[in-house]
Structure 1
Amino acid sequence: MVLKNVYIVAAKRTPFGNFGGKLKDITATDLCAHAAKATLAAAKLDPTLVDSVQVGNVAPTSPDGAYIARHVLLKAGIPQDKPALTINRLCGSGFQSVVGGMQEILLGEADIALCGGAENMSQSPLAVYGHEARFGVGLGAGLNLQDTLWSALTDSYAKTPMGMTAENLADKHKITREECDAFGLRSQTRWAEAQAAGWFDAELAPLEVKAGRKTEEFAVDESPRVVDMAKMAKLKPVFKKDGVVTAGNASGISDGAGAVLLASEEAVKKHNLTPLARV
């Protein structure tokens, strides 16, 4: 089989919000739809020309969560007869949507694919599971209310929290607390430098968010923070005594979405699209 060239022709993302921050009231579906529409606008492409939509989502957190890819497709103006697929490969879900879109193009199933990923961790439900309450609860019996976000961070098969996996890997590969703090600090520093230099401007799709009784434009990532090694060294390990994972060097709990538009070489030429990169 002769492989085709597949190109990224546009990509946009929302700014990322803190847990309980500026994006807490906007569903993952609407966040991804916003990024998708901005991506199509950046490519100057008629949405009706999109052949397929794939969206990565780990934890459905809104009433329409099961339909996220389908609803992103519809809200972006893509015809309802086009296929939509929601993908869960945990932290790689959004990236897997790009792999899937590329595969569809290589197989001749699509010429243009809209791919993306979205999470709103702030909206993770506090739940009472159906089998514990739906079929009757005795007088005086307590309900087992669970935080689905917290429980999802523990692999029930391995009975191991995600943070302990990091601690186990640190032990195995002899990664020190100081090295973890330095890595975390470097990430924050690089974000600050890139933000100051305007590197994110071309990829961001600002949106209106609630601010009391008014609305305001949300255009800068909310989660990064100014830190230094001295402050990070004072933070206590979260998962293990004398461990390496802290609130300062671990990835944050946040809300946001992104979208990428893929096109075959034929579609690039036919619709006068401008490639950003070849996949």
Structure 2
Amino acid sequence: MTQVFIVAAKRTPFGAFGGKLKSISATDLATHATKAALQAAKLDPALVDTVIVGNVAQTSSDAAYLARHVLLKSGIPIEKPALTINRLCGSGFQSLINGIHEIKLGEASIAVASGTENMSQAPLVSYGDKSRFGVGLGAGLQLQDSLWSALTDSYAK
């Protein structure tokens, strides 16, 4: 059975909501930690086989491509796969599990697994078709706090 080892781990500091980290995207936070972990492990980014990033709240315009952008900004070759995972609060841990699975299945030898958020960047949003296709005269547009929406389960109300 293939053994899996964690050879380096780095993280960014926790910040207060609206604090000093508010202007740094979740992508850039994850990139910073990834580069630091690769450097600590003395690992050439070209040797990484896969990048898996857990992310709950897509808070920046590039969030749909979060794992791919972390891969590219960290110097890992464009040919390597990248996967963004949303398993709510377990997203970062799930990325680690997926990395272990890929190694045990022989799909990868070296995996970068991480989780990232910047809740200070959660936008106000308008759900539904009204904002896309027009709001009638006097109808008003309802904005919702996407951070609150992400942290509460509307089904369980």
Instruction: Provide the TM-score with structure 1 as the length reference.
Output: 0.55
**2:127 maps to 1:129:** yes
Instruction: State the partner residue of 2:88.
Output: 90
Instruction: State the partner residue of 1:119.
Output: 117
Q: Percent identity?
A: 74
RMSD across aligned positions (CA): 0.9
Q: Shift of residue 83 of structure 1? A: 0.4
Q: Decide which of 4, 7, 13 is 2:5's aligned counterpart.
A: 7
Q: Which runs of 4+ in 1 moved over 6 A?
A: none
C-alpha distance in 2, partners of 1:152/1:14?
Answer: 22
Aligned pairs, number = 157
**SS of the residue 1:96 aligns to:** helix
Instruction: Provide the TM-score with structure 2 as the length reference.
Output: 0.97
Instruction: State the partner residue of 2:100.
Output: 102
Q: Decide which of 134, 139, 142 is 1:141's aligned counterpart.
A: 139
C-alpha distance in 2, partners of 1:121/1:54?
Answer: 20
Q: Decide which of 16, 19, 22 is 2:20's aligned counterpart.
A: 22
Instruction: State the partner residue of 1:256.
Output: none
Instruction: State the partner residue of 1:263.
Output: none
C-alpha distance in 1, partners of 2:148/2:107?
Answer: 39
Unaligned runs of 5+ in 2: none
Q: Which amino acid aligns with 1:152?
A: A
Instruction: State the partner residue of 1:43.
Output: 41
Q: Shift of residue 27 of structure 1? A: 0.2
Instruction: State the partner residue of 1:31.
Output: 29
Q: Shift of residue 139 of structure 1? A: 1.6
Q: Shift of residue 157 of structure 1? A: 1.5
**SS of the residue 2:9 aligns to:** strand
Unaligned runs of 5+ in 1: 160-279
C-alpha distance in 2, partners of 1:17/1:86?
Answer: 23
Aligned residues of 2:56 and 2:150 also touching (Cα < 8 A): no
C-alpha distance in 2, partners of 1:130/1:157?
Answer: 17
**SS of the residue 1:18 aligns to:** coil
Cα deviation digits, residues 1-49 of structure 1 (max 9, x gap): xx21100000100111110011100000000000000000001111000
Report which structure shows greater RCO (CA 8 Å, sep ≥6). Answer: 1
Instruction: State the partner residue of 2:75.
Output: 77
1:1-279 correspondence to structure 2 within 5 Å: 3-159=1-157
Q: Shift of residue 130 of structure 1? A: 4.7
Q: Shift of residue 132 of structure 1? A: 1.9
The more displaced of 126-135 and 102-111 is 126-135
C-alpha distance in 2, partners of 1:61/1:31?
Answer: 12
